[in-house]
């Protein structure tokens, strides 16, 4: 990692100067300058020579220094409504973590008596919990929370040390399952994974199409459900190959330290979360039944859009008391400020860069570079190439950075080729969450690998087959299933 950072630190400015001094796009100086900046940003994002959020924050600085746009325009995307949607969802997720609501719900499900007779059933429960939580909480937080819970579960089953848990087939299968399930679950809702909202934001900004929360859920679940079953049956097969006894001895008891009932804080978080989800999903249901022109949908669209709903839900945490006499509320400002601000900066920088790629005409130039005038290319081919490139790029850099780099280019190529841009854009965003091969690909992979309990060759071996399955499922979904149900 250190060598990669050092190379990027030198290579980034070198490529910037090479592009800046080259005769490319001399007829359009703003686009020429932006191409040099884009080259620098891509190299720094891929090599992580400078923290990715800081690189994103430098984007508007470079845009202003080279007079590509005004300060107002350069920094405006950092207050985009979708960033407010992220902000609200992050605060809600932090409240769940602070008060242990996520762990409580997970433990309650995993410790059900109906699951205590077979290891394959426990594997299914663990996969369901990881997938379900990552619909609403980041895959990083989901994996970090599930990791100790699964280690405790394995200890209850086998009564051996953590080291032997990880090296056994049983431990390996369970740990890889929570990481992969968390990544797969993130595609199910717009807030589940940053690339989802990046795609929605860019479709809104550059294609003039506003996708609802509910619409994305329909798309995400169309891919999530088959991938979940592929993951589960694939991992269940590994248990059989490892010659692991499926039945659990009757004297084994799964125990979790859980206080009975919900605390006042947990109840308040559940209320705030339920209100927010209702406001997110409700308008989409109305649009599905009555259409987007229905008065009720229009009222929600103008008065309670998804970003406002997220802020309302997050704000409830500061209004709902846990101890009125002592003036204690569900969440304190100090706790709320622990959210992932880096992702918000990365999102804002990506939108700022994407906006200028289109405004300066660089997008058009890129499109013509890949698709020369008079040539045609099929939608299926562009979609498949986009999926593969997105997966491969995410193996070496964050999925948020990958989406910010790839989606504007995909839109530009699609427009130049005269094809529908929605399938490749949506496929690209989802594919950015399907990097299962390497520890650096996603935080869930890094968490379980960093523990020293998962051998790298095993992660590569299992991740390779799931990655291939993911590419196939995404492609079939966006080219066959979604058009049939009239979504794209």
Per the DSSP assignment, residues forming a β-bridge with 324 are: none
Let me know: does 87 contact 307? Beta carbons within 8 Å.
no
CA 256 – CA 254 distance, rounded (Å): 7
Is the residue at 447 inside a domain?
Answer: no
Is residue 477 in some structural domain?
A: no
Name residue 118's beta-bridge partners. Answer: 247
Matching residue, tokens 């992969």: 180
End-to-end distance of the chain based on CA atoms, in angstroms? 40
Residue 156 has pLDDT above 90, yes or no: no
Q: How confident is the model at residue 250 (pLDDT cuts 50, 70, 90)?
A: very low
pLDDT score of 311: 94
Q: What is the DSSP letter of 421?
A: S
Length of the chain: 488
| Strands (DSSP E) found in 302-439 | 321-323, 328-329
The pLDDT score that the predictor gives to residue 259 is 59
121 pLDDT above the threshold of 90: no
pLDDT at 367: 83
Instruction: Name the band, by pLDDT with cuts 50, 70 and 90, for residue 371.
Output: confident
pLDDT tens readout for residues 277-300: 898 888 888 887 887 788 888 888
Q: Identify whether 487 is part of a domain.
A: no
Enclosing domain of residue 234: 82-336
Q: From 51, 56, 10, select the one nearest 37 (Cα to Cα).
A: 56
CA 469 to each of CA 103, 228, 362, 384: distance values in angstroms, whole numbers, following the listed order? 30, 11, 34, 13
**Is 383:423 a contact under the CB 8 Å cutoff?**
yes
278 lies in a domain?
Answer: yes
pLDDT of residue 221: 92
Q: Does 52 fall in a domain?
A: no
The reported pLDDT for the residue numbered 256 is 54
Instruction: Decide if pLDDT at 160 tops 60.
Output: no
**Is the CB of residue 377 less than 8 Å from the CB of residue 227?**
no
Indicate if the pLDDT at residue 253 is higher than 60. Answer: no
Q: Identify which has the larger pLDDT, 439 or 12.
A: 12
Is the pLDDT at 202 greater than 80? The verdict is yes
Residue 27 three-state SS:
coil
Percent of the chain with pLDDT over 90: 33
pLDDT at 105 over 80: no
132: its two tokens: 């379900």
pLDDT of amino acid 113: 66
How many Å separate Cα 38 from the centre of its chain?
Answer: 23
String of b and e for 305-328 (b: at least 16 CB within 10 Å)? Answer: bbbbbbbebbebbbebebeeeeee
CA distance 61 to 334: 29
Question: What is the model's pLDDT at position 112?
Answer: 67
Predicted confidence at residue 330, as pLDDT, reads 93
Give the pair of three-digit tokens for residue 220.
Answer: 């995400």
Tell me what pLDDT residue 162 has.
Answer: 47
pLDDT at 332: 93
Give pTM, 2 decimals. 0.82
Residues 6 or more apart whose CB falls under 8 angstroms from that of 348 comprise 56, 75, 77, 78, 79, 80, 83
Predicted confidence (pLDDT) at residue 251 exceeds the cutoff of 50: no
Residue-wise DSSP of 254-321: ------SS--HHHHHHHHHHHHHHHHHHHHHHHHHHH-TTSHHHHHHHHHS-HHHHHHHHHHHTTTSE
User: Does 54 fall in a domain?
Assistant: no
Tens-place pLDDT, residues 2-56 = 788 899 999 999 999 999 999 888 889 999 999 999 999 989 988 888 888 899 9
**pLDDT of amino acid 350:** 86
Total domains in the fold of the chain: 1
Query: In sequence order, which ranges of 186-263 are alpha helices (DSSP H)?
Result: 194-207, 213-241
Give dist(CA 488, CA 476) in Å, integer. Answer: 13
Place of tokens 């998804």: 306
**pLDDT digit string, tens, across residues 166-184:** 446 778 888 999 999 999 9
Whether 354 maps to a domain, the answer reads no
- Asked if 280 and 301 touch (Cβ cutoff 8 Å), the reply is no
Average pLDDT, the chain: 85
Which tokens in the block code for residue 59? 């984007």
Residue with tokens 């099929």: 378
Q: 3-state secondary structure string, 78-137?
A: HHCHHHHHHHHHHHHHHHHHHCCHHHHHHHHHHCCHHHCCEHHHHHHHHHHHHHHHHCCC
User: Is 374's pLDDT higher than 60?
Assistant: no
Examine residue 34 and state whether it is found in any structural domain, yes or no. no
SS3 label, residue 20: helix
Angle between the 52-65 and 29-47 helix axes, to the nearest 10 degrees? Answer: 170
More confident residue, 399 or 269: 269
């Amino acid at each position: 990692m250190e060598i990669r950072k050092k190379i990027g630190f030198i290579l980034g400015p070198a490529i910037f100067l090479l592009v800046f001094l080259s005769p490319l796009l001399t007829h359009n100086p703003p686009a020429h300058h932006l191409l040099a900046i884009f080259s620098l940003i891509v190299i720094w994002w891929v090599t992580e020579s400078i923290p990715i959020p800081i690189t994103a924050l430098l984007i508007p600085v470079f845009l202003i220094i080279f007079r590509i746009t005004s300060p107002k325009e350069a920094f405006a995307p950092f207050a985009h409504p979708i960033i407010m949607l992220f902000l609200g969802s992050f605060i809600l997720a932090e409240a769940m973590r602070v008060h242990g609501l996520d762990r409580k719900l997970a433990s309650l499900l995993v410790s059900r008596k109906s699951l205590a007779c077979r290891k394959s059933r426990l594997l299914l429960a663990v996969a369901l919990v990881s997938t379900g939580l990552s619909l609403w909480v980041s895959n990083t937080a989901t994996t970090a929370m599930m990791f100790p819970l699964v280690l405790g579960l394995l200890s209850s089953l086998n009564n051996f040390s953590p080291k032997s848990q990880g090296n056994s087939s049983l431990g390996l299968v369970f740990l890889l399952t929570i990481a992969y399930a968390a990544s797969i679950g993130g595609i199910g809702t717009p807030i589940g994974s940053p690339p989802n909202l990046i795609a929605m934001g860019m479709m809104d900004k550059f294609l003039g199409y506003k996708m609802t929360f509910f619409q994305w859920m329909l798309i995400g679940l169309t891919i999530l459900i088959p991938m979940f079953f592929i993951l589960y049956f694939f991992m269940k097969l590994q248990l059989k190959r490892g010659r692991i006894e499926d039945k659990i001895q009757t004297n084994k008891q799964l125990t979790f330290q859980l206080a009975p009932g919900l605390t006042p804080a947990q109840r308040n978080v559940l209320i705030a979360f339920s209100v927010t989800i209702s406001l997110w999903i409700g308008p989409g249901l109305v649009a599905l039944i009555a259409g987007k022109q229905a008065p009720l949908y229009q009222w929600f669209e103008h008065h309670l859009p998804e970003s406002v709903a997220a802020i309302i839900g997050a704000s409830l945490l500061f209004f709902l008391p846990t101890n009125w006499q002592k003036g204690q509320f569900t969440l304190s400002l100090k706790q709320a400020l622990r959210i992932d601000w880096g992702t918000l900066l990365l999102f804002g920088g990506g939108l700022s860069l994407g906006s200028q790629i289109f405004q300066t005409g660089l997008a058009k130039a890129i499109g013509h570079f890949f698709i020369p005038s008079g040539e045609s290319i099929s939608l299926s081919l562009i979609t498949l190439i986009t999926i593969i490139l997105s997966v491969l790029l995410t193996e070496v850099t964050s999925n948020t950075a990958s989406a910010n780099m790839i989606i504007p280019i995909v839109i530009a190529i699609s427009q130049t080729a005269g094809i529908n841009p929605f399938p490749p854009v949506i496929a690209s965003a989802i594919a950015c969450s399907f990097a299962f091969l390497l520890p650096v690909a996603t935080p869930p992979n890094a968490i379980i690998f960093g523990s020293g309990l998962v051998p790298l060759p095993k992660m590569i071996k299992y991740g390779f087959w799931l990655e291939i399955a993911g590419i196939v499922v995404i492609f079939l979904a966006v080219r066959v299933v979604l058009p049939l149900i009239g979504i794209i």
